[in-house]
Amino acid sequence: MSTILTTIQIRLKQRAAYRRTKAEIEAMPLDVAIDLDIYKPDAARIAEKAVYGR
């Protein structure tokens, strides 16, 4: 039972990190995104790779 709770806790933390990362990329000023070579419509893909490693 402890393993299940730990897994759920990890997943919730990852999901929160994903949502924060995606929101930050989407809210990033265009000039900063250009400087970092980030295409803002790819925010979901970038956040997924950063948090989940996929």
pLDDT at residue 10 in the model: 96
pLDDT at residue 53 in the model: 94
Taking each helix axis from N to C end, the angle separating 2-27 and 43-52, rounded to the nearest 10 degrees, works out to: 140
pTM: 0.87
Going 46 to 51 to 53 to 54, the CA torsion angle's sign is: negative
* Model pLDDT for residues 7-43, shown as the tens digit of each residue: 999 999 999 999 999 999 999 999 999 999 999 999 9
Q: Is the pLDDT of residue 1 over 90?
A: no
- Which residues 6+ apart lie within 8 Å of 18 measured at CB? 47, 48, 51, 52
CB 39 within 8 A of CB 49: no
